[in-house]
């Protein structure tokens, strides 16, 4: 069970909803992923085209917990405003705090992320900040009362996988709230690795939506996260410098 | 009445007096639409009683795909 604030989930995959080729493929990908948490962004409506389809309408919303993000915010103030707009939908009280500090790397601004998280916690949100893999920043966010910490594996949409497994492990080891590896996942083995390191969940989007076959990749990610989690729970063997035989060394039949 | 909706100046008929009227006017009643009037969020339950004034800055936002 993944517990975030007062919520409980059996799936450890959080799925983004951006950049799919079409809604049918997206719907199928969401179904096979068995995710229970979907992220969204908040944007202006096109009021002159009320019939423009929206993915949210294709979903049985009651089946999912919505995790809106504050993407687009460059300051804590902007992030808080977007979070409040999202909450006013009446559909959710969870928020992924995302305050981007650099448009080239899309890395989060640590100070604004901290400020926004603090404010949103005061407002009663369930707060999940997207953060860099800085160990002390993760600690500070947890001390504020954040309900989960979401360090990036590598830059958003880059598909580079986990570039600093050591920092991720430090964050995981020190955290008493769930750690969800968010952003940069490229292939199922990246997701499995995050889970093997002890992450409580993985949030990904482009790895699935941008795959040649998003439905198949959604299933692959689901399986990888399950496999990684099982592997973590099972407890890995220690790494050794030299070989140890797995077959008995006694009782050899030699002529 | 002239409103600034999502950054654009837009004329709406005089029959549009409340936030709820505005949502109906644009055919958005069935949609998940979040409303901000002059930078203050108008909660869903207050759409009917919230009056609009000439020059109001209105934001109509919704959820779109994102990661």
| Residue tagged active-site, from A87, A96, A115, A222 | A96
- What band does A211 get if pLDDT is binned at 50, 70 and 90? very high
What mean pLDDT do residues A181-199 have? 97
- pLDDT tens sequence across A150-166: 999 999 999 999 999 99
Question: In the 8-state DSSP scheme, what is residue A50?
Answer: T
- Mean per-residue pLDDT over chain A, rounded: 96
pLDDT at residue A225 tops 90: yes
Rounded to whole angstroms, the Cα distance separating A40 from A202 reads 16
What is the pLDDT, as a whole number, of residue A58? Answer: 87
For residue B21 the two structure tokens come to 């009227």
Domain B2-62 bears CATH identifier 3.10.20.30? yes
Do residue B65 and residue A16 have CB atoms under 8 angstroms apart?
yes
Q: Taking CB atoms and an 8 Å cut-off, how many pairs form between chains A and B?
A: 101
Chain B nearest-CA residue for A21: B65
What is the pLDDT, as a whole number, of residue A255? Answer: 79
Domain boundaries, chain B: 2-62
**Nearest-5° Cα angle at A168, A79 to A218:** 75
- pLDDT tens sequence across A79-119: 999 999 999 999 999 999 999 999 999 999 999 999 999 99
Give Cβ neighbours of residue B65 (< 8 Å, ≥ 6 apart): A16, A17, A18, A19, A20, A26, A40, A41, A55
What is the pLDDT, as a whole number, of residue A50? Answer: 80
Rounded to whole angstroms, the Cα distance separating A37 from A245 reads 44
B25 in A contact zone (CB under 8 Å): no
What mean pLDDT do residues A132-143 have? 97
For residue A113 the two structure tokens come to 């992320």
- pLDDT tens sequence across A11-50: 999 999 999 999 999 999 999 999 999 999 999 999 988 8
Interface of A with B in 114-153 (CB under 8 A): none
What is the pLDDT, as a whole number, of residue A8? Answer: 97
CA dihedral of A160, A164, A170, A173, whole degrees rounded to 10: 30
Rounded to whole angstroms, the Cα distance separating A172 from A162 reads 14
Residue whose structure tokens are 């002390």? A136
What mean pLDDT do residues A238-255 have? 92
Interface of B with A in 27-56 (CB under 8 A): 27-28, 31-36, 41-44
* Chain B positions in Cβ-Cβ contact with residue A48 (cut-off 8 Å): 26
What is the pLDDT, as a whole number, of residue B51? Answer: 97
Q: Catalytic annotation on A96?
A: yes
- Asked if ipTM goes beyond 0.85, one says yes
Beta strands in chain A (DSSP E): 2-4, 7-9, 13-15, 37-44, 65-68, 94-97, 126-131, 150-151, 180-182, 201-204
DSSP string, A86-144: HHTTSS--EEEE-BBS-TTT--B-HHHHHHHHHHHHHTT-EEEEEE-S-HHHHHHHHHH
Considering only residues A227 and A53, tell me which one the structure prediction assigns the higher pLDDT: A227
* B43, B60, B66 member nearest A47 (Cβ): B60
A90 in B contact zone (CB under 8 Å): yes
Residue A212 and residue A21 in contact, taking contact as beta carbons nearer than 8 Å = no
Do residue A56 and residue B27 have CB atoms under 8 angstroms apart?
no
**Nearest-5° Cα angle at A32, A28 to A37:** 95
Query: What are B35's strand-pairing partners?
Result: B42, B60
- pLDDT tens sequence across B13-22: 999 999 999 9
Residue A26 and residue A18 in contact, taking contact as beta carbons nearer than 8 Å = no
Query: What are B40's strand-pairing partners?
Result: B37
* Chain B positions in Cβ-Cβ contact with residue A157 (cut-off 8 Å): 67
Question: In the 8-state DSSP scheme, what is residue B45?
Answer: G
- pLDDT tens sequence across B25-53: 999 998 999 999 999 999 999 999 999 99
What is the pLDDT, as a whole number, of residue A57? Answer: 87
* A19, A45, A66 member nearest B33 (Cβ): A45
pLDDT at residue A181 tops 90: yes
């Amino acid at each position: 069970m993944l517990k975030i604030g007062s919520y409980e989930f059996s799936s450890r995959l959080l799925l983004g909803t951006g950049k799919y080729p079409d809604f049918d493929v997206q719907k199928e990908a969401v179904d096979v992923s068995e995710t229970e948490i979907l992220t969204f962004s908040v944007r202006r409506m096109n009021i002159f085209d009320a019939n423009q389809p929206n993915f949210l309408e294709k979903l049985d919303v009651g089946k999912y917990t919505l995790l809106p993000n504050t993407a687009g915010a460059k300051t804590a103030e902007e992030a808080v405003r977007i979070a409040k707009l999202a909450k006013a939908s009446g559909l959710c009280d969870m928020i992924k705090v995302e305050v981007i500090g650099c448009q080239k790397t899309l890395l989060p601004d640590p100070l604004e992320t901290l400020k926004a998280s603090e404010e949103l916690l005061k407002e009663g949100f369930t707060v999940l900040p997207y953060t860099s893999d800085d160990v002390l920043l993760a600690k500070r966010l947890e001390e504020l009362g954040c309900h989960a910490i979401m360090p990036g594996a590598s830059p958003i949409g880059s598909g580079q996988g986990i570039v600093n497994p050591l920092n991720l492990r430090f964050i995981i080891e020190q955290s008493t709230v769930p750690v969800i590896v968010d952003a940069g996942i490229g292939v199922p083995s990246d997701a499995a690795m995050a889970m093997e390191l002890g992450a409580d969940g993985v949030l990904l989007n482009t790895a699935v939506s941008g795959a040649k076959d998003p439905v198949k990749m959604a299933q692959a990610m689901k399986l990888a996260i399950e496999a990684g989690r099982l592997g973590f729970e099972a407890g890995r063997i220690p790494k050794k410098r030299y070989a140890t035989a797995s077959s008995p060394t006694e009782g050899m039949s030699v002529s | 009445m002239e409103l600034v909706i999502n950054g654009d100046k837009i004329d709406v008929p005089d029959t549009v007096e409340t936030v709820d009227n505005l949502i109906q006017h644009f055919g958005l009643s069935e949609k998940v639409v979040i409303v901000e009037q002059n930078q203050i969020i108008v909660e869903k339950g207050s759409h009917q009683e919230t009056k609009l004034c000439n020059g109001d800055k209105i934001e109509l936002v919704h959820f779109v795909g994102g990661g």
